[in-house]
Chain A
Amino acid sequence: MSLNKFIVLSRSVRRGRNLFAARVAQTGEYLYQFQSQRFIRSSSRSLAYAKDLFLGKVNKKEVFPYPEISNEELEELNQFVQPVEKFFNESVDSAKIDREANIPPETLDGLKELGLFGIQIPEEYGGLGLSNTMYARLGEITSLDGSIAVTLAAHQAIGLKGILIAGTDAQKAKYLPKLATGEHIAAFCLTEPGSGSDAASIQLRATLTEDGKHYLLNGTKFWISNGGWADIMTVFARTEVVDKDGQKKDKITAFIVERAFGGVTSGKPEDKLGIRGSNTTEITFEDTKVPIENVIGEVGDGFKVAMNILNNGRFSMGGAGAGVVKKLIELSAEYAGTRKQFNRRLSEFGMIQDKFATMALNVYVMESMAYLTAGMMDRPGLPDCSLEAAMVKVFSSEGTWICVSEALQVLGGLGFTKNYPYERYLRDCRILQIFEGTNEILRMYVALTGMQHAGKILTGKIKEMKKGNLGVVFEILGKKIKDTVQTADFGLTGKDGVVHPSLTESAKMFEQNAACFGSTVEGLLYRYGKTIVDEQLLLKKVADVLINLYAMTAVLSRSSRSISIGLRNHDHEVLLTNTFCKDAHFKNNYMLSQLQRYSPENDDANIKKIAQDVLAKRAYICSHPLERTF
């Protein structure tokens, strides 16, 4: 908060200086300068890190140095963290919540008292008014119980975010105070019974009443977290909108719906594999009368609102995953240190050590990515970090799954029992790969958005080349030759480098991958053009390379900072960074070579064929090994 204020202040000071200078100049010039200043301000955040990687550019200013929070903020945060940690360690019985598939009211009251229902709601509306970074930090603790984490996230990361981002002052004043205290619980109603990720699936309809003051909502929403408890819902519905040409079109609009409006019924809570304490139900709206003041944003802009809410909410999953895994490392390390087998401690076995290394590496990367992204989002302006947030979600959801599974494996059979929390964490964290956009969709999103970005810029060049414009061809050829002769250098290391010298090798690996990634993307665009949408297997690899690149950036940036300011155990961080970067580098190399034309490593055609054969018969089609023909 105070950082924001400071930056806004410095801006105004600067503008004031400009105004002052302008007074000396002519009036026309003054106007021009004023405008240009405004222009610069609105475009100050046009730099995007992940998107520009597709062009083979590394905007190091975006990610170096690693974002920090001020001392005051840190103090403020620690004040929150301690009681929350205490509460989760002492008052939350996760096993019971899981067993009874319900969060007891006294636990919910405790959460409300701690203010956890209004972490990001500004203080003027009664919330804690914390930044994204601080939200992520609290998320690390709340994630110790999956059910509570999901309940809180459904409430504030998506449920009331619509009002927070796009709501009017009146809407904020009306709803936020009660939501901040947890008196009202919010829910986000987007998914419908038709297939979850299909564009045509929003069928819930809002029709304007004759007096033009209300909308009538009719339809059903599925898998609504907090569906049974929510008093305030952000509901997305189809409305008829007259567009520029005078044609009527169906557009999505977001509404704030109170349960008190009537006609809202919740179904039975779903019986789930994990996060059993969270309340997931179906919600049916029957002639629910919503006043037109409750439209969020403009009528017909609902889809943008939904995107903004979701894109901004995902980054916190990195912190949540890291919180869980850090806890499990402690638990399983204790077991490995005490349990003896063949007169040796479990912790002395290489294969067990391997598991702990994997967990530590993953946590380190998850944390680095999550807080880098949160820091980017906390910067002033309207940051576009949706790609980064999606990558954090994909990486951390999969990393968490692997780590929890490894931690369980350390305990062997014991981990499989309900006497230990491992199986619960395993079940709980499985949902991370599914909700808020499945990892498959997010990979497509990451890859295609980047491709689109790169395509827009490269189209002209590629077209010229296809036409056979020799000048362009030579230019590109020259660049290619230069690239092969010279090693890629984005200035991360060396004299004006931003990476600490002890990480030079890793930084070089990153640079090499980034350069190769840029040219590979260009090659893909050249080969497939807009039909790249159908090459999902290629896009998956593109997304994976990008996720690795972003992860490398995050750890490089974080550990450089740690060394520079001398954080405790920064040598361990260097070790983790170098290990991860090396691993990611070789994985990237492999995937990038798969993306080349006629690559022998690429087996996509076979994979597709196998799947088609199986799916055509909808069964495994091989004969049984005991089958005979004569």
Chain B
Amino acid sequence: MSASHHLLRLQCVRCVSHFLGTPVRQVILPGRAHLQTPGSQHIYVQLLRPFHRSAVCSTDRQNRTDIEKLVEDETHHKDKTLVTHDDIFDRAAGDSKTKVEFNRVVDVFKSKDIRRRGHVEFIYAALKKMPEFGVECDVTVYNKLLDVFPKEVFVPQNFIQRMFNHYPRQQECGVQVLEQMENYGVMPNIETKVLLVQIFGEKSHPIRKFQRIMYWFPKFKHTNPYPVPHVLPSDPVDLAQFSLTRIAADLDAKITIYQYPSTDITETGEEITRPHIVGIQSPDQRSLLAKHNPCKPVFVEGPYPLWLRQKCVHYYLLRADPIPPEEKVEEEIDPEMICPEQSLFFPQRVELDLNVDMGDDHSFNVDEVEEGAVYAMCMAGQGDQATLSQWISGLQETCPILGQIPTVFRLESGPRELQTSTDAHQRPEQEAETDQIIEDDEEPRHSRGVKQ
């Protein structure tokens, strides 16, 4: 609210300025704005330096202790070193790098020097440090950063200034702030606009940049038909459910949780952790599996990676080789029931020796590569064979035929994607097992077919 009020007021100010000369304006108008505030002395100062009014008393006493000192140090050393503001964040924050700390540094900088000397450098440094503090996606922090710019100084006052690049470094810096917002997908809000208008004026480069962002961002906001939420579920079972429904892309597919993660302590004091096993299967897949030729093996394959924003999860497939064409059985429906001469069921064909006319054939020539059917998918806390065979035996409850089909485990040793160290602990512990057929006595339920 207040932000838009500001905007309105600024616009009024503009209107009035048409009647008054530019030099006069600077003196009179801000004064007008402050006519109500008590303390004429204050007003006098403000009259002279109008653009500083927002910086007045923005910090409290406690915050201005050591950081202030630091900043002071910075300014003293300023003439000697080129890199000035980078360290201040590091030193100020110490161990805890949070939004609060970041804001505190910005506040201190603002309150330290009424002239905001070196604010461009400070803003660049702050932009660089934002990801470290984890505030790179926070629009309020960006607004706070923009607030560091002194107001109304860089607003062009006449057409010559407007024609040329007025205060290029500052404008560039403003654009840079917006650019970083853009890169992190942060949508500017009305406060951003108010600030930019106050700082750079209506037709400046940062405002143009702002307008472009506001044109494109909303348009692109929903381009992804399969959006991933910003905050992923932290529970591995929930995450697995989310990822599996995402891959399955079948609204009928049903999730089954075969095992919840749990930790047991045996009598001997050993700790046994049971990993979670979450599977998904659609009715179509189930009926395909039911028709599978029991003489042919099915394969458990994986792990395959799936990226969800910053996170990588792994899934496993139960699939079969494609059926060779000579073994395909085509289901015949009684021709009597689908021909056009009957009105009970749906007429599904006409017996004509005619095909689509060449001119009307709008279909594309598509080469179709046949692949083996995928019967089910799962995600598990551990990628070892024991866990996955638990999944298979769980599947047997709905697909009893799986008991007669030999199951072959083709597990890769580990994820094939590069991972950062933070993701490393999510990587399922893999055992190097390739093309290993389970022995009969180990898993008697689902490998009867491969007795050797």
What residues make up the interface of A, taking CB atoms closer than 8 Å to B?
Answer: 190, 197-201, 249-252, 303-304, 306-307, 310-311, 386, 390, 437, 441-442, 444-445, 448-449, 451-452, 455-456, 459, 462-463, 466, 525-533, 597, 618, 623, 629-630
Contact = CB atoms under 8 A, between A and B. Distances in A.
Given A452-B350, A463-B353, A306 B344 contact: yes
A199 B346 contact: yes
B214 interface: yes
Contacts of B398: none
A307 to B, nearest CB: 5
A525 B354 contact: yes
Contact of A466 (B222, B251, B342, B357): B357
B334 A198 contact: no
Nearest to A302: B336
A527 B359 CA distance: 8
Given A199-B338, A452-B341, A459 B354 contact: yes
A418 B333 CA distance: 48
A445 B342 contact: yes
B352 interface: yes
A449 B338 CA distance: 12
A629 B343 CA distance: 51
B210 to A, nearest CB: 12
A441 B337 CA distance: 13
Interface string B325-349: 0000000011011101111111111
Contact of B350 (A304, A306, A448): A448
Nearest to B331: A200
A444 B349 CA distance: 11
29 contacts: A190-B344, A198-B346, A199-B337, A199-B346, A201-B345, A250-B334, A252-B334, A303-B334, A303-B336, A303-B337, A307-B341, A307-B344, A390-B343, A437-B343, A441-B344, A444-B346, A449-B347, A527-B357, A527-B360, A528-B356, A528-B360, A530-B351, A530-B352, A531-B356, A618-B251, A629-B217, A629-B221, A629-B222, A630-B187
B218 interface: yes
Given A303-B336, A452-B341, A463 B347 contact: no
Given A199-B348, A449-B340, 11 more contacts: A250-B334, A307-B343, A311-B343, A445-B342, A449-B341, A463-B353, A528-B356, A528-B360, A533-B350, A597-B360, A630-B221
A452 B341 CA distance: 9
A504 B204 CA distance: 78
B268 interface: no
B355 interface: yes
Contact of A456 (B346, B349, B352, B356): B352
B211 to A, nearest CB: 12
A313 to B, nearest CB: 11
Contacts of B354: 455, 459, 462-463, 525-526, 529-530
A386 B222 CA distance: 52
Interface string B303-344: 000000000000000000000000000000110111011111
Contacts of A250: 334
Contacts of B346: 197-199, 441, 444
For the complex of A and B, list the 5 residue pairs with the smallest distance between their C-beta atoms, beginning with the closest: A529-B354, A629-B218, A448-B340, A199-B337, A445-B343
Contacts of B340: 445, 448-449, 451-452
Contacts of B351: 452, 530
B60 to A, nearest CB: 33
B379 to A, nearest CB: 24
Given A386-B343, A445-B343, A452 B353 contact: no
A534 to B, nearest CB: 9
B361 to A, nearest CB: 9
A427 B398 CA distance: 42
Nearest to B349: A533
A459 B354 CA distance: 7
Contacts of B348: 199, 533
Contacts of A466: 357
A310 to B, nearest CB: 6
A31 B360 CA distance: 53
A538 B356 CA distance: 15
Nearest to B252: A618
Contact of A448 (B214, B218, B347): B347
Interface in B208-252: 214, 217-218, 221-222, 251
A529 B347 contact: no
A310 B357 contact: no
Contacts of B344: 190, 197, 306-307, 310, 437, 441
A197 B345 contact: yes
Contacts of B342: 303, 307, 445
Nearest to A525: B354
Contacts of B187: 630
A630 B350 contact: no
B287 to A, nearest CB: 13
A125 to B, nearest CB: 27
Nearest to A387: B343
Contacts of B251: 618
Contacts of B338: 199
Contacts of B217: 629-630
Contacts of A532: 350
A526 B355 CA distance: 8
B350 A441 contact: no
A527 B343 contact: no
A390 B344 CA distance: 11
Contacts of B336: 303-304
Nearest to B347: A448
Nearest to A451: B350
A459 B351 CA distance: 11
Nearest to A446: B343
A347 B214 CA distance: 60
A455 B343 contact: no
Contacts of B345: 197-199, 201, 441
Contacts of B350: 448, 451-452, 455, 530, 532-533
Contacts of A449: 340-341, 343, 347
Nearest to B355: A529
Contacts of B189: 630
A399 B167 CA distance: 77
A242 to B, nearest CB: 15
A250 B337 CA distance: 12
Contacts of A618: 251
A527 B356 contact: yes
A198 B344 CA distance: 9
Contacts of A200: 333
Given A529-B357, A597-B360, A630 B218 contact: yes
B343 A452 contact: no
A250 B333 CA distance: 10
A525 B352 contact: yes
Contacts of B357: 466, 526-529
B26 to A, nearest CB: 34
Contacts of A528: 356-357, 360
A199 B334 contact: yes
A131 to B, nearest CB: 23
B114 to A, nearest CB: 35
Nearest to A437: B343
B430 to A, nearest CB: 36
